[in-house]
């Protein structure tokens, strides 16, 4: 043992024994916020890890801090700055820490980092996603001396693993926005030598604490709670430890205690200890009901507590079968968003405080989303914890770009899944583990499943991948945006409605008069309509519509993102809200359609757009409505339109008999008739603008008014209004906290002017840093090279509103924000940043500790959420004009197989034998090339014609209404060659030669080919 190490050990023993405790009985652990007091410098100066290196000119920052944050949304993802950046921190360990164990926990860095303490190499971390840590005990100096932590980061998009030369599959210039450096939180843990471990497997080989619930009795909301903890003995003698756990509810009331068996650990040994106890009358975590408990696990020696860890978690029951997701005994159709994992903001990237994560994620729940599918890589711990609080179900990936991998690159994906599961397995909001953003082999799926079974066998989570429709290993799946149905594992669309629209553009009739330009350059009205029509495809196949159902779908994306884009701007604008989380009309459309677990559960309406047009304007008004029997539109009290909701499930994918006029595919096109064009969209064409109140009123079947909404004409812009958002405890002067400041242009009566696009100039005074906002460029600007007003102190409002960011400094005080614009009355707002105590680089302040849970939706409702609209008629056999040996593929609940004839019209038929004589009312058909091909067909039942027409192009299934007849043998036959066409405007967004997953592509010729993937018959 070296002289220095020996001296530190003697000091440690003297300190501990001087307190009357043995080394193993050192006091409880402490957890410190390690974010304050860092220094950063881009470039790669020599010997920057050395304790004596001169860092006096480096930039002082508070973590999380990406060194290239200024470029967030300023440049496209592939242009985000990359390279080497060094971070250094001077700190002292707290008095009493020598002799105990001290660990660092990094929640993550981008991409790779080499970590040094006092010039000594601690280690390297390279995956750019997962949390990691180090036991720094032996490299620390005594409490009175400075320690120097140095981290060399490298965020090169081409970074390769040092040991193998292998690139990481997910380090992608399309999907994973590259905010480099230490862009997540860092914590310092001080424990006794016998302690509960951290869940940092790759770096420390440890798994931490695991809490789960089982043996549910939903009648009494009871469950058996189990706490399991890995304990390590770093003392020099064997230690016998006791293990207990206590459960406290959200009101800090004790609801349960548990005691495990005593365990003896040899020096250096780790063991897992556990305890279980039934607990009654639990508040089960649910959608919009982020009820959380604190479970404190304590280890003791000779009856004296030596280490306690508190885990915040929740309890819920899940099931994944019958094609459905069930939460706490209630079926739920998935509806929500696929959001880039970076979940980034302009000019700060992912450098944000926890309250702002809650602000963003709760907005999804307020929009009635029940699930967020994080894309490509594991989300930050800050976002997973936030989803717990706000009551938002998560689908958690490990890491990939698209497609399967092999060799070392596949091993990297498995290792990241393992580390991510261990780190996040106590988060009740995670219900899905995603093994790939595209199909992987069943062999690889089984490997991922084995990881789940080893490290989270009791968590009630399904593991699967995008696609995987026919896999018997994956526990869920679903294509990107096509409609898939299943009677077994849930299949849900992972990225539907992929188009783009900027919030700045209402419609063709509103300033700045951006012409609606599908694809990827839409206006808000067109984009919202697209969202409504696309959701209706999955809603039509919801639970309650037969044995095979769609588990739902998530729209890509929630918030505009600094990632892969197709539109005019250098960032993606598919969001339901913009990059500053200001809603677009599509957000409100989703809020209307998604207000229930399966079907909408309350009447709701939204009028798309605004009502402040120039005189002489005539336009179509669109109303999104749910759970109403009739929609009436009035202008200044006078009825200008009335539409009765259809009972026949209107949808563009619905097949119509010959001679029936179909609605246009996109209802906003000229000549659209008044009426209902989907389950939720009501159109009122040729409404002449007049100043005043435009109101939509919803009535039930008895004619009773049950809901309404309205738009009011605003006057000319007169003034500016400012409104600030901050965390529940106000602004904190920690150098990391942020305030959102909304800026609105108002008329003389205090109404927002929805067509105002005034330029606003801002000034700030006080201990704060301007981070600004984002906006579209003025007409005539070279859009690809435009900076999007990032960091500019002058930028426009859009549609009468915008939002900017103000960051605190480590100095407390008043912050004044002033906004001015020519011709408008100015506005000023004052904020107060309260002090945060930092001692020698350490803080006890936890920015997330006081954040409340969102409980507004209440507990999971009792009673069924499923309303039966039709029932399946079983098919028992089939024969066909050709290839009869494969005819059963047309009803095998496997959308990767199909039946097809030989190309002759005389053989283009298939007979389905029903289980018993029935009177079918509908048939759903999934026909190959459904996006680009229409099929002229005739359907007969025991020879009686019950339908003849041409199927529409669609995203999977077409629903065909059948004339009343009774029989057993249902024949589907072509009446002519299929008609090939361009994809419908709503489906062109996906390229590919064919549509069926795993089904052979069609040949575009004149042959009479009938190709049936699945057929479902109903009554």
Q: What is the 3-state secondary structure (H, E, C) of 977-1003?
A: CCEECCCCCCCCCCCCCCCCCCCCCCC
Please give the average per-residue pLDDT across 410-430, as a whole number: 98
Mean pLDDT of the chain: 93
Q: Which residues contact 955 (CB under 8 A, 6 or more apart)?
A: 481, 482, 483, 496, 534, 537, 653, 930, 931, 986, 987
Angle 513-517-521 from CA coordinates, rounded to 5°: 90
- Residue 25: the pLDDT is 52
Tokens of 82: 């990359």
Q: CA dihedral in degrees (716, 717, 718, 720; nearest 10)?
A: 160
Name the token pair of 451: 């990881």
Is 175:419 a contact under the CB 8 Å cutoff? no
How far is it, in rounded angstroms, from Cα 17 to Cα 33? 28
pLDDT at 981: 80
Looking at the predicted structure, is the pLDDT value of residue 832 above 50? yes
Q: Is the pLDDT of residue 1006 over 90?
A: no
- Confidence band, pLDDT 50/70/90 cuts, at residue 16: very low
**CA–CA separation, 30 and 309 (whole Å):** 10
Cβ atoms of 11 and 17 closer than 8 Å? no
**Using one digit for the tens of pLDDT, what is the confidence trace for 571-596?**
999 999 999 999 999 999 999 999 99
Predicted local confidence at residue 28, as pLDDT? 77
Q: Which two tokens stand for residue 479?
A: 């294509």
Give me the pLDDT at residue 671, please.
Answer: 46
**In this predicted structure, what is the pLDDT of residue 675?**
81
Tell which residue, 98, 185, 94, has the closest CA to residue 840. 94
CB count in 10 Å sphere of residue 74: 22
CA triple 111-558-391, angle to 5 deg: 95
Q: Is the pLDDT of residue 995 over 60?
A: no
Whether pLDDT at 452 is above 60: yes
3-class secondary-structure state, position 212: strand
> What pLDDT, in 10s, does the model give residues 679-692?
999 999 999 999 99
pLDDT of residue 780: 78
Determine the Cα–Cα distance for residues 114 and 87; give it in Å rounded to an integer.
10
**CATH level 3 topology of 872-1018:** Jelly Rolls (2.60.120)
- The 10s digit of each residue's pLDDT in 41-100 is 999 999 999 999 999 999 999 999 999 999 999 999 999 999 999 999 999 998 875 569
Among 244-258, 517-531, 541-555, 1002-1016, name the one with the lowest average pLDDT: 1002-1016
pLDDT band at 444 (very low <50, low <70, confident <90, very high): very high
Q: What separation in angstroms does the CA of 950 have from each of 60, 936, 938, 960, 1014? A: 68, 4, 9, 10, 17
DSSP one-letter code for 307:
E
Q: Does residue 2 surpass a pLDDT of 50?
A: no
Q: Is the separation of the CB atoms in 378 and 420 below 8 Å? A: yes
Give the per-residue pLDDT at 797: 98
Q: Give the three-class secondary structure for 447.
A: helix
Asked if residue 5 has pLDDT above 50, the reply is no
pLDDT for res 678? 87
Percentage of residues in the chain having pLDDT higher than 70: 92
Classify 365 as helix, strand or coil. helix
Q: Is residue 116 scored above 70 in pLDDT?
A: yes
Q: What is the pLDDT of residue 717?
A: 98
Percent of the residues in the chain that have a pLDDT greater than 90, as a whole number: 88
Kindly report, residue by residue over 630-673, the tens digit of the pLDDT: 999 999 999 999 999 986 655 555 665 665 554 444 344 444 45
The DSSP bridge pattern shows strands 254-259 and 239-248 to be antiparallel
209-313, what's its fold?
A: Immunoglobulin-like (2.60.40)
Q: Which pLDDT score is estimated for 667?
A: 41
CATH entry 2.60.40.10 includes domain 717-836: yes
Query: What are the residue boundaries of the structural domains of the chain, listed by start?
Result: 30-204, 209-313, 717-836, 872-1018
Confidence at residue 23, expressed as pLDDT on a 0 to 100 scale: 47
Across residues 947-973, what is the average pLDDT? Answer: 95
Q: Angle, nearest 10°, between helix axes 354-366 and 381-390?
A: 50
d(CA 679, CA 959): 14
pLDDT in tens, 121-166: 999 999 999 999 999 999 999 888 999 999 999 999 999 999 999 9
CA trace torsion 540, 542, 548, 551 (10° rounding): 120
Main-chain dihedrals φ then ψ at residue 313, nearest 5 degrees: -155, 180
What does the pLDDT average to over 337-344? 97
CATH architecture assignment, domain 30-204: Sandwich (2.60)
The rounded Cα 347 to chain-centroid distance in angstroms is: 21
């Amino acid at each position: 043992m070296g002289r220095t190490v020996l001296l530190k050990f003697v000091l440690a023993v003297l300190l501990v024994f001087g307190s009357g405790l043995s080394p193993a009985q050192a006091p409880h652990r402490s957890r410190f916020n390690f974010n304050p007091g860092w220094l950063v410098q881009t470039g790669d100066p020599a010997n920057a890890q050395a304790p004596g290196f001169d860092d006096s000119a480096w930039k002082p920052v508070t973590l999380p801090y990406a060194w290239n944050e200024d470029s967030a949304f300023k440049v496209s993802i592939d242009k985000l700055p990359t390279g080497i950046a060094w971070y250094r921190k001077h700190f002292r360990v707290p008095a009493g820490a020598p002799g105990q164990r001290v660990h660092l926990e990094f929640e993550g860095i981008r991409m790779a980092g080499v970590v040094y303490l006092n010039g000594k190499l601690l280690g390297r971390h390279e995956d750019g996603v997962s949390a990691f840590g180090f036991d720094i005990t032996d490299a620390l100096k005594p409490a009175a001396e400075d320690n120097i932590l140095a981290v060399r980061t490298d965020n090169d998009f081409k970074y390769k693993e040092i040991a193998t030369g292998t690139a990481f599959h997910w380090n992608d210039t399309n999907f994973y926005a590259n905010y480099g450096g230490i862009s997540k939180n860092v914590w310092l843990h001080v424990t006794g030598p016998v302690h509960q471990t951290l869940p940092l497997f790759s770096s420390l080989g440890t798994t931490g604490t695991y809490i789960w619930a089982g043996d549910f009795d939903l009648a009494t909301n009871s469950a058996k709670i189990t706490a399991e903890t890995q304990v390590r003995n770093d003392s020099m003698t064997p230690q016998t430890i006791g293990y207990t756990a206590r459960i406290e509810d959200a009101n800090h009331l004790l609801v349960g205690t548990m005691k495990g068996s005593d365990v003896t650990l040899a020096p250096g040994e780790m063991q897992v200890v556990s305890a279980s106890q039934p607990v009654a009358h639990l508040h089960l975590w649910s959608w919009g009901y982020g009820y959380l408990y604190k479970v404190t696990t304590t280890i003791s020696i000779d009856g004296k507590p030596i280490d306690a860890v508190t885990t915040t978690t929740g309890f819920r029951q899940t099931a994944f079968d019958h094609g459905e997701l069930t939460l706490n005994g209630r079926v739920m159709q998935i509806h929500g968003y696929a959001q880039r994992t970076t979940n980034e903001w302009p000019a700060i990237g992912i450098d944000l405080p926890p309250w702002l994560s809650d602000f963003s994620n709760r907005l999804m729940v307020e929009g009635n989303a029940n699930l967020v599918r994080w894309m490509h890589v594991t989300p930050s711990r800050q976002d997973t914890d936030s989803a717990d609080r706000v009551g938002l179900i998560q689908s958690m990936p490990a890491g990939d770009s698209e497609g399967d991998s092999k060799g070392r690159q596949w091993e990297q994906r498995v290792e990241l899944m393992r580390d991510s599961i261990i780190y996040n397995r106590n988060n009740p909001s995670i219900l899905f583990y995603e093994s790939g953003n595209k199909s992987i082999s069943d062999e690889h799926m089984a490997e991922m499943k084995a990881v789940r079974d080893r490290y989270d066998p009791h968590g009630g989570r399904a593991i699967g991948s995008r696609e995987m429709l026919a896999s018997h290993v994956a526990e869920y799946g679903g294509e990107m945006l096509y409609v898939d149905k299943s009677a077994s594992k849930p299949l849900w669309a992972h990225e539907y409605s992929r188009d783009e629209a900027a919030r700045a553009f209402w419609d063709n009739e509103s300033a700045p008069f951006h012409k609606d330009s599908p694809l990827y350059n839409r206006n808000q009205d067109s984009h919202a309509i697209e969202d409504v029509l696309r959701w209706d495809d999955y809603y039509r196949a919801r639970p309650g519509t037969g044995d095979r159902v769609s588990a739902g779908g998530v729209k890509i994306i929630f918030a505009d993102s600094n990632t892969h884009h197709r539109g005019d701007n250098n960032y993606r604008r598919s969001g339901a809200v913009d990059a500053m989380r200001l809603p677009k009309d599509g957000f409100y459309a989703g809020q209307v359609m998604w207000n229930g677990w399966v079907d909408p559960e309350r009447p709701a309406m939204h009028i798309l757009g605004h009502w402040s047009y120039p005189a002489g304007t005539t336009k179509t008004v669109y109303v999104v409505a749910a759970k109403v029997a009739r929609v009436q539109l009035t202008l200044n009290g006078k009825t200008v339109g009335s539409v009765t909701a259809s009972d026949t499930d209107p949808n563009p994918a619905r097949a119509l008999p010959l001679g029936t006029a179909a609605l246009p595919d996109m209802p906003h096109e000229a000549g659209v008739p008044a009426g209902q064009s989907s389950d939720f969209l009501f159109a009122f064409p040729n409404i002449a603008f007049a100043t005043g109140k435009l109101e939509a009123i919803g009535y039930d079947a008895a004619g009773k008014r049950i809901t309404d909404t309205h738009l009011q004409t605003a006057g000319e812009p007169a003034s500016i209004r400012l409104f600030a958002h901050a965390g529940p405890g106000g602004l904190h002067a920690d150098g990391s906290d942020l305030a959102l400041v909304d800026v609105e242009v108002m008329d003389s009566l205090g109404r927002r002017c929805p067509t105002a696009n005034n330029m606003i100039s801002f000034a700030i005074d006080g201990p704060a840093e301007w981070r600004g906002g984002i906006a579209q460029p003025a007409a005539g600007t070279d859009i690809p090279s435009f900076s999007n007003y990032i960091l500019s102190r002058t930028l426009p409002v859009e549609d009468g509103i915008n939002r900017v960011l103000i960051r605190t400094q480590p100095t407390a005080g008043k912050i004044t924000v002033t906004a001015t614009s020519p011709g408008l009355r100015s506005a000023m707002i004052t904020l107060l940043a309260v002090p945060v105590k930092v001692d020698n680089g350490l803080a006890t302040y936890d920015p997330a500790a006081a954040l409340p849970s969102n409980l507004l939706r209440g507990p999971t409702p009792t009673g069924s959420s499923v309303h039966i609209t039709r029932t399946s008629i079983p098919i028992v056999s089939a024969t066909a004009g050709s290839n009869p040996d494969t005819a059963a593929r047309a009803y095998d609940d496997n959308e990767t197989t199909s039946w097809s004839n030989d190309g002759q019209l005389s053989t283009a038929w298939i007979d389905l034998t029903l289980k018993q004589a029935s009177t079918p009312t509908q048939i759903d058909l999934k026909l190959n090339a459904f996006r680009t091909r229409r099929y002229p067909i005739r359907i007969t039942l025991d020879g009686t014609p019950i339908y003849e027409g041409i199927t529409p192009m669609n995203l999977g299934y077409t629903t065909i209404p059948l004339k009343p007849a009774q029989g057993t043998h249902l024949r589907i036959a072509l009446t002519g060659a299929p008609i090939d066409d361009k994809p419908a405007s709503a489906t062109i967004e996906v390229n590919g030669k064919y549509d069926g997953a795993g089904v052979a592509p069609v040949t575009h010729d004149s042959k009479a080919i009938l190709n049936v993937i699945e057929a479902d018959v109903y009554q």
